[in-house]
Chain A
Amino acid sequence: MSSPLHDVWEAAASSPFSPAIGKNTQFTVGFVLLAIALVLTTIFGLNRSFVNLPVLGVPASLAFGFGAVYMICAVGVYV
């Protein structure tokens, strides 16, 4: 029994999907990123300036964005 998509599946046998971060490390990665975001946000809060907006704000928001995605996966809501 063969269909075109079955052949496609067989052809891709050597490349199974692997996520960038495995299930077991999602919590660690998420937690560290969220902690970094918190620390950077705190520093920005103490010293709000136009220079600090990109210097601290951009890494803090990126860390929060990725950290939030990994944390929600770690607690079982796989987005």
Chain B
Amino acid sequence: MRSFTLASCIAALSSLACAELNLSEPLLSKQVLPSTFTPPQVFKNTNLVRTTNLDKAYPRETINVIIENIDSKPQSEYYLPFDASLLSKVGGFEVRDKKAADKGTFKVQVVGFDAESSTEFYRIHLPEALAPGAQQTISISYAVLSALQPVPAQLGQTEKQYVQYTFSAYAPSAYLTEKQRTKVKFPNTDVPDYTTLPAELNDEKKADPQKQGSTFTYGLYNNVSAGAQQPVSVRYEFTKPITHATLLERDLEVSHWGGNLASEERYWLVNQGAGLKNQFSRVEWQRQLYMNPPTFALKGLNLPLAPGAVDPYFTDDIGNVSTSKFRAGSKEALLELKPRYPLFGTWKYSFRVGWNADLSLYLRKLSTADTYVLKVPFLEGPRAGEGISYARVSLRVILPEGAENVRFSTTVPIVDNSTSLHKTFMDTLGRTTLTLTAINLSDEFRDRDLFVTYDYPWMAGYRKPLVIAMGIFAVFAVTWVLGSIDTSIGKKKTV
């Protein structure tokens, strides 16, 4: 196996001559597994097909693999290695049984074994242990955020944008892989540069990659050792904005008195595409706007809200932004936003949007006791063909004052949750607030729901009016007491 790795090293070095890519780091094949730890070699990958989809502004990877237990005991823990620098960009990591996708996702967790090594692992728990010799087909999918690099990094205002993506032609694996292919799907056929691997590496001795329309296929590779990597790089046309939210704060406020669910989202956006070579020309921008050509600037955002949304607002640091339209409909209410300026690469824009909705669409009361169940989307936000990625999403569900025993469930992978108190208008104790944090999400998580149940005792609901009533009554009492003090000078009146 070692000789094979060595051979692939030499082959990769020789392949540099073929690559015409402008890279700051040479593409060298390497081993990512730390020398001190390798996961127990109890599996092997019989057949692996990996699909890298570059349609959107973040690459999406899908690895379909047939795994086989080669140990003498049943095994249920499968590892997937990532370099720490890559792991910090991986988001929406989900594993399913390929043959029973509707059964839901497997439990996964990130583990690091060796503090000295930069390699960390995803530990995948198979729901049922795999018997010795048995096989299972699993589908691993994830997105890599902030992975596309515009080359050239600066462009004229109306030029086409090209982006570069560097990845390994070998799928990440902690086990021996008998057969594997990597399919790369481009958004179009304009792919000026890509790494060509020597035909000797390829088991079929064909030119590597094989091209078929806008799909390139690297492989077939036989018996790739655990942890082996063969970096390749591709550069393709992508004249669309690479919209990335460094932070999204989303508040959902439940009001039983008002029968209202108030939503507010605060975005910190950046376009990760190419910057402008020269100054921004408003004249040129306005002229070409009429033709509506593809551009790498972010012109606007469309937020499809759930039907029943009312009272939308769109503000930023300056104040109300008047360039927005709201189209209420029976299927969805569309909020069309236009930022104050088009967002070219490296430009930033932060703003907030909010709206109200009837609480009866989102909240139900259980027949037993004073328990309520709330169903809300975890992520709403813009919908765009090229996709939007979120580095960090902080969701706050602000429940009524006095709500207790809060439980929640969601299929979105969250990294942190906490319950605290949030004080605002007419509060004495503060409202129970559930805060959920997720990192590296993409707009593919728009349809995921969040369920929250809480107990809201009958008496807790009357806290607000009764506190105010008691205060006012105290004023009456004080008025009467002060009014009945006799402050007259001289003899007391006798009636």
User: Interface of A with B (CB < 8 Å)?
Assistant: 1, 3-6, 8-9, 11-13, 15-19, 21-23, 26, 37, 41, 44-45, 48-50, 53, 56-58, 60-62, 64-66, 68-70, 72-73, 76-79
Indicate if the CB atoms of B364 and A69 lie closer than 8 Å. Answer: no
Indicate if the CB atoms of A1 and B104 lie closer than 8 Å. Answer: yes
User: Interface of B with A (CB < 8 Å)?
Assistant: 102, 104, 253, 255-260, 262, 311, 356, 358-361, 363-367, 372-373, 375, 407-409, 411, 424-427, 449, 451-453, 464-473, 476-477, 479-480, 483-484
Least CB distance from A38 to B in Å reads: 12
Indicate if the CB atoms of A5 and B258 lie closer than 8 Å. Answer: no
Given contacts A65-B470, A78-B356, 15 further A-B contacts (CB under 8 A): A5-B409, A8-B366, A9-B364, A12-B365, A17-B363, A19-B258, A19-B359, A45-B479, A61-B471, A61-B476, A64-B469, A65-B469, A76-B311, A78-B255, A78-B258
- Chain A residue nearest to B407 in the complex (CB): A5
Indicate if the CB atoms of A61 and B472 lie closer than 8 Å. Answer: yes
Q: Which of A8, A13, A41, A79 has the most CB of B within 10 A?
A: A79
Least CB distance from B222 to A in Å reads: 37
A13-B451 contact given A1-B102, A48-B484, A50-B480, CB 8 Å threshold: no
Which residues of chain A are within 8 angstroms of B469 by Cβ–Cβ distance? 61-62, 64-66
Which residues of chain A are within 8 angstroms of B407 by Cβ–Cβ distance? 5
Indicate if the CB atoms of B472 and A5 lie closer than 8 Å. Answer: no
Which residues of chain A are within 8 angstroms of B425 by Cβ–Cβ distance? 72, 77, 79
Which residues of chain B are within 8 angstroms of A16 by Cβ–Cβ distance? 360-361, 363-365
Which residues of chain A are within 8 angstroms of B260 by Cβ–Cβ distance? 23, 73, 78
Q: Which of B255, B365, B465, B468 has the most CB of A within 10 A?
A: B465
Contact of A68 among B373, B453, B465 (CB under 8 A): B465
For the complex, what is the distance from the CA of A15 to the CA of B464, rounded to whole Å?
25
Indicate if the CB atoms of A17 and B453 lie closer than 8 Å. Answer: no
Which residues of chain A are within 8 angstroms of B472 by Cβ–Cβ distance? 37, 60-61, 64-65
Indicate if the CB atoms of B451 and A6 lie closer than 8 Å. Answer: yes
For the complex, what is the distance from the CA of A21 to the CA of B260, rounded to whole Å?
12
- Chain A residue nearest to B431 in the complex (CB): A79
Contact of A8 among B359, B360, B451 (CB under 8 A): B451
For the complex, what is the distance from the CA of A57 to the CA of B372, rounded to whole Å?
35
For the complex, what is the distance from the CA of A37 to the CA of B471, rounded to whole Å?
14
Indicate if the CB atoms of B465 and A66 lie closer than 8 Å. Answer: yes
For the complex, what is the distance from the CA of A17 to the CA of B375, rounded to whole Å?
12
